Chain A
Amino acid sequence: KAGVTQTPRYLIKTRGQQVTLSCSPISGHRSVSWYQQTPGQGLQFLFEYFSETQRNKGNFPGRFSGRQFSNSRSEMNVSTLELGDSALYLCASSLAGQGQLGDQETQYFGPGTRLLVL
């Protein structure tokens, strides 16, 4: 089975621009979660989507948004980019409600999109 894929892998933007990142989950996984990784703050949860609905959200400003499509693929968007948005953005997929109880919450991560804001 193919793993989680993310595109693009690298991105350079300037302050004030917006960016859209894409994530394709493992086939059969219906939940997609997004995380931001920075040296200072570590790994922080952005939001989670399941069946095209946002089910959970972290403490990020409204500039960070996402969506999920009927095929479970997900996108996240960051508007009005700031220098502090430079980070590695990781998405992860899970079975969430399917399979054995112990397996449902297990998240599998993609390689990430490295965003640099100048």
Chain B
Amino acid sequence: GNSVTQMEGPVTLSEEAFLTINCTYTATGYPSLFWYVQYPGEGLQLLLKATKADDKGSNKGFEATYRKETTSFHLEKGSVQVSDSAVYFCALHGSGNTGKLIFGQGTTLQVKP
């Protein structure tokens, strides 16, 4: 079945450091891929998405490229801020699987000043 694997956390970085959170997936067909962010005590916020191979999603300085050859969708940001501290979830929506997102286990990011 479809699945998503994220790198284990927590990830601790200093402000202005470069961020990479790895995400790989297993799916049949051509899934859509998403990154969501969750701040303490809140729901999930859509960060970015990509719906076909080689698409790059970007938002608020974050980027991720849909790589079908490596089945990956790694999240990157060139310079993190303290306000980026949160839990990040990679997710996929499989072809024909209506309304169902499959999530990775989440990666906690802590940015220190």
A contacts, CB < 8 Å to B: 4, 6, 31-33, 35, 42-43, 45, 48-50, 55-56, 58, 90, 92, 94, 96, 101-102, 105-112
Given contacts A56-B98, A90-B44, A107-B34, 7 further A-B contacts (CB under 8 A): A4-B43, A33-B100, A35-B101, A43-B106, A45-B102, A105-B32, A109-B44
**B96: shortest Cβ distance to chain A, in Å?**
10
With A106-B49, A109-B45 already in contact, the answer to whether A48 and B32 are too (CB < 8 A) is: no
B contacts, CB < 8 Å to A: 32, 34, 36, 42-46, 49, 51-52, 89, 93, 97-106
* CB-defined contacts of B97 to chain A, threshold 8 Å: 56
CB-contact partner of B99 in A55, A90, A108, A111, under 8 A: A55
Instruction: Give 3 closest A-B pairs by Cβ, nearest first.
Output: A48-B99, A102-B51, A43-B103
The answer on a CB contact under 8 Å between A48 and B43 is no
**B85: shortest Cβ distance to chain A, in Å?**
18
Main secondary structure of the interface of A (DSSP, over half): strand
Distance, CA A31 to CA B101, complexed state (A):
13
Distance, CA A90 to CA B103, complexed state (A):
13
The answer on a CB contact under 8 Å between A33 and B99 is yes
Distance, CA A58 to CA B101, complexed state (A):
11
The answer on a CB contact under 8 Å between B98 and A108 is no
The answer on a CB contact under 8 Å between A106 and B98 is no
CB-contact partner of A90 in B43, B46, B51, B98, under 8 A: B43
* CB-defined contacts of B34 to chain A, threshold 8 Å: 106-107
